[in-house]
């Protein structure tokens, strides 16, 4: 059986590795990162970056479970591919003492036995002097098995490992998926590819290829990058990743100094106060080409200067990205026809756990999904 995986991003590349590793005949299809977003006419991926937070702690037991499963395989993926993508800086989650967020996170920590220290105001100030928190906050600190991954390098590693297991990697953009009695034809911008089954894992561009459209919500996001010099990066060498749940329900996230492909070192901050809905692929493409929101970038700069008042910033720039959500706040991993399955909906948390989501997607193509995880498929199709 020939299985085509459409979408060479974090979930699609993971699914291809798992499928090829189990002996399936796999074709992984998706274009490279565009050299310039501003005039790129095709699709975009969500992994064009060097920093995503990874951690076991979460206020949701589902997201914690799939994250822990993925983190446990990071070393395996790095070994299979020869590509390193995980940096163990530790991870800190903070919320108000009396919030439902802290109560849920504490319950997940206890149920799963996660090795995270619980820190009060005084401990937070002593352990993490770079940050400023208001009184009345609780922190959960994971020192081991947490930190950040490079999504670019993770995708590269998954693709390399899949290829080592025999998968064929096709660097085309898919423009249509045609289904017929004998299987599917994948129409790319260069060729037609026949397969028995197809897994569509195209992120925010999935509905270009699926009919009827899936009930997805695509949001525009802006992230800001704060350049620091090597001396400042050294001062922050022990800085963990940080997520803060604010009283109004927002959850800004901050990554420590990371060296980017341009040779410079940046802290990255994301999280904004308003949702901009992107109704279709054309709107998503326009958003990527726009460069993001200067207004949101200014808000993020104000946020980091308040959170880290001693930070010595050399320069600031911003970039656009998109998030794909489902109504259930869990991925849609399901069969949509006799020959087609989908895996979509990282819901802002999909990078760190993408390997497990890819494994579940691979399992859906070849057999029954894990019922214990309760993926958000029931009642959707």
Largest Cα separation within the chain, whole Å, is: 65
Model confidence pLDDT, tens digit, residues 282-301: 999 999 999 999 999 999 99
Please name the residues in contact with 206: beta carbons below 8 A apart, sequence gap of 6 or more. 7, 200, 214, 216, 324, 342, 344
Q: What global pTM score does this model have? A: 0.95
89 phi-psi bin (left φ>0, alpha ψ -120 to 50, beta other): alpha
Mind giving me the DSSP string for 181-224?
A: TTEEEEEESS-EEEESEEEE--GGGGGGT-SSPP-EEEEEEEEE
pLDDT in tens, 220-233: 999 999 999 999 99
The model's pLDDT over 292-327, given as tens digits with 9 standing for 90+, comes to: 999 999 999 999 999 999 999 999 999 999 999 999
pLDDT digits (tens, 9 = 90+) for 260-284: 999 999 999 999 878 899 999 999 9
Residue 47 has pLDDT above 90, yes or no: yes
Task: Report the alpha-carbon distance of residue 120 to residue 135 in Å, rounded.
Answer: 9
* Token pair 């489902």: residue: 326
């Amino acid at each position: 059986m020939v299985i085509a995986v459409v979408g060479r991003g974090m979930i699609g590349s993971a699914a291809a590795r798992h499928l090829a590793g189990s002996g399936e005949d796999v074709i992984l299809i998706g274009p490279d990162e565009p050299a310039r977003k501003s005039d790129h006419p095709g699709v975009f991926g969500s992994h064009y970056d060097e920093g995503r937070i990874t951690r076991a702690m979460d206020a949701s037991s589902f997201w914690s479970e799939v994250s822990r499963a993925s983190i446990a395989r990071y070393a395996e993926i790095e070994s299979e591919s020869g590509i390193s993508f995980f940096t163990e800086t530790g991870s800190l989650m903070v919320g108000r003492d009396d919030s439902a967020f802290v109560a849920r996170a504490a319950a997940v920590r206890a149920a799963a036995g996660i090795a995270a220290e619980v820190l009060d105001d005084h401990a937070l100030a002593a352990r993490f002097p770079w940050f400023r928190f208001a009184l009345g906050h609780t922190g959960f600190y994971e020192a081991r098995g947490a930190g950040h991954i490079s999504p670019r390098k993770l995708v590269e590693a998954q693709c390399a490992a899949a290829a080592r297991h025999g998968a064929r990697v096709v660097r085309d953009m898919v423009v249509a998926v045609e289904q017929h009695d004998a299987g599917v034809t994948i129409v790319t911008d260069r060729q037609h590819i026949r397969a028995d089954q197809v897994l569509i894992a195209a992120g925010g561009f999935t509905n270009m290829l699926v009919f009827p459209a899936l009930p997805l919500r695509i949001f525009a996001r802006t992230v800001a990058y704060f350049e620091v010099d090597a001396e400042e990066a050294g001062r922050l060498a022990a800085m963990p990743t940080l997520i803060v749940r604010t009283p109004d329900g927002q959850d800004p996230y901050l990554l420590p100094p990371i060296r980017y492909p341009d040779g410079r070192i940046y802290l990255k901050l994301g999280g904004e106060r308003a949702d901009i809905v992107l109704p279709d692929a054309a709107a998503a493409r326009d958003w990527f080409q726009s460069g993001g929101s200067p207004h949101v970038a200014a808000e993020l700069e104000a946020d980091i200067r308040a959170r880290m008042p001693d930070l010595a910033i050399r320069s600031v720039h911003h970039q656009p990205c998109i998030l794909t959500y489902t109504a259930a706040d869990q991925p849609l991993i399901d069969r949509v026809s006799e020959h087609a399955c989908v895996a979509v909906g990282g819901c802002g948390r999909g990078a760190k756990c993408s390997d497990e989501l890819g494994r579940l997607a691979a399992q859906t193509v070849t057999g029954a999904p894990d019922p214990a995880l309760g993926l958000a498929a029931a009642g959707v199709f």
